[in-house]
Chains A and B, each alone.
Chain A
Amino acid sequence: MSGLQIFNAHPRLYWGQYGANADPALLEMGAVQDSQGRALGLTRVGPWTFHTTGVLGASKDAQGNWTERGFPRWATLPSEQDLATGRHWHFMFAWLIVTNSALYWLYGALSGHFRKDLWLDRRERHPRHILRDIWDHIRLRRPVGAAASRYNTLQKMAYLVVVFGLAPLMLLTGLTMSPGMDAACPFLLDLFGGRQSARTLHFVTANLIVLFVAVHLFEVLVSGPWNEVRSMITGWFVIPGDEP
């Protein structure tokens, strides 16, 4: 999306206060030419290098020509390499998601939603219960009856990690990349160990959120998408096992 567009402008990640081409990167994407002159996409993560031709490092442009770019055109916003437009998308929607999240946090805290629906009770915190919940998920076994109308334990844990972990991390690491914010809130640099560390964490966190969304969509699909989506919007939820 727009973040990948921005990443593509410099497809390398570092740790610390500084990081540019001459500095060692934790992750980098690029293209080389093989002996036949074909583009070879390479992605290096730490000591491991992967051939990722077609997706990462080297992919085809709109005309079908091979070009060196981090993420492929179908994954970036806009498709063409256009950092300025990517940043416009990124920051407009950053404001929207931060505003939405702030309202959600406010509502969750004031209404008791976090305490009643997200927080794990003593029984749910028991390792044996968590293990059984994991096993249920692996077997795609859905809760039935009244239990189906509540968040299950893994679901609660995932929401807690996103709401109180990944989302604030996303916001703070994003702010740390702004030189102005670093001047206004110098503790940000100490918190993450530098602008480049923050950039790396921002990237990793974004990937984890994408993973969360993918798993979440999968779970909605396997547990009856019509019923789930309708209940998300209208609150009308038919408890599995009760349908006529």
Chain B
Amino acid sequence: MRRVLSLSRRRLILTGAAGAGGLLLPGCDRLSEAPDFRRFLQSGEILSFGAQRLLLAGQPLAREFAPRDRSPTFRTNGSTLPVDSTYQALAASGFADWRLAVDGFVQRPLRLTLADLRALPGRSQITRHDCVEGWSAIGKWTGAPLAQVLMTAGLQPSARYIVFHCADDMDSSTAGQALYYESIDLFDAFHPRPSWPTRSTTNRWKSAMARRFVCASNGNSATSTPSSSCASRRSTAFRGSARARAAIGKTRVTLGTRGDLSPGSSRPPSARSNSRVNLGRKSETNSTSIYTFSARRGTA
């Protein structure tokens, strides 16, 4: 008799626990939407950002892989054929009329052709491309380091961030209206060592190396997943394979100062600065929270 009672008590507790669990998650959704709680959650990024900058202060190099380690099929990030009509026209003419505009807080605004970019000192590397969604692909990247372009343009002292204006749509609902953009800070944009582009003796490259390439190609046979909208922090414009080239488009890079750049901002990129340089490749806002932090810190 006692046993039966005790079991029913357990059942009561279990039911209560399951009920509490069921109530807990909607409660978490409400928390997720509360501005104060969101600020609390996002403050974790201060720790993550600080810890990463501390550990990566020496700018250690990302691992380079052997040719045989490349993904057999390289998943392309973002779209490989943006719907934008200007882009399509550029693609039709083999990007002969395409210019990479570098403007904003620069001493010498640039408008570079593909030939200009190819003339810059470049190099190749086989590194891993990671998506914030969780997948990875290893490919070969060739091109000029972003730092080369930025040094040619010459940054003004007020420049803090680099904004990349892409040819991709922000998402399918904004076709032709809002184009994707991405931003990084100068720590990520520059390698601190001046001899950097020729440091090929070492087997490891900087973690964000691919990010700093203005032009790159993937040595693999790229297959497209046009619907994919995955994040990458790598702002890389492609040359090389025809498909990869499609990502170059009318993208620009903008140099901005603090406040220019919150990725979640609904303002179109052009409203934020009158300058731009541009590199291909779509990235996603989710991965850029670290830069939101930079912007905040800049404001403080």
Contact = CB atoms under 8 A, between A and B. Distances in A.
A complexed with B: yes
Interface of A: 6-7, 9-10, 12, 14, 17-23, 74, 77-80, 82-85, 87-89, 91-95, 177-186, 189, 195-196, 199, 217, 221-222, 225
B285 to A, nearest CB: 7
Nearest to A217: B17
B44 A95 contact: yes
A6 B14 CA distance: 29
Interface string B169-207: 000000000000000000000000000000000001011
B138 interface: yes
Given A10-B131, A17-B128, A183-B62, A91 B44 contact: yes
Q: Is the interface of B mostly helix, strand, loop or mixed?
A: mixed
16 contacts: A7-B134, A9-B132, A12-B135, A18-B71, A18-B136, A20-B135, A22-B75, A79-B26, A88-B45, A91-B48, A92-B44, A181-B52, A183-B62, A184-B56, A184-B207, A222-B10
Contacts of A181: 52, 55
A19 B135 contact: yes
B207 A180 contact: yes
Nearest to A11: B134
Contacts of A184: 55-56, 60, 207
Contacts of A185: 55
B138 A17 contact: yes
Given A179-B62, A182-B63, A186-B204, A10 B133 contact: yes
Interface of B: 10, 13-14, 17, 22, 25-26, 28-29, 32, 38, 40-45, 47-48, 52, 55-56, 60-63, 65, 69, 71-75, 128, 130-138, 204, 206-208, 223, 225, 230, 285-286, 289
B10 A10 contact: no
A168 B40 CA distance: 26
Tell which of A80, A84, A181 has the most Cβ of chain B within 10 Å: A84
Contacts of A94: 44
Chain A interface SS verdict (over half): helix
B133 A89 contact: no
Given A19-B135, A22-B75, A84 B63 contact: no
Contact of B137 (A7, A18, A83, A95): A18
Nearest to B223: A22
A23 B72 contact: yes
B52 A180 contact: yes
A92 B72 contact: no
A181 B137 CA distance: 17
Nearest to B55: A184
B28 A186 contact: no
Given A80-B29, A83-B133, A177-B134, 14 more contacts: A9-B132, A9-B134, A17-B136, A17-B138, A22-B223, A23-B73, A88-B38, A88-B41, A181-B52, A182-B62, A183-B56, A183-B60, A183-B61, A195-B128
A195 B225 CA distance: 22
Contacts of A22: 71-73, 75, 223
Which A-B residue pairs are the 6 nearest by beta carbons?
Answer: A183-B207, A92-B44, A22-B73, A20-B75, A9-B133, A88-B41
B266 to A, nearest CB: 15
Given A77-B28, A88-B42, A183-B204, A20 B71 contact: yes
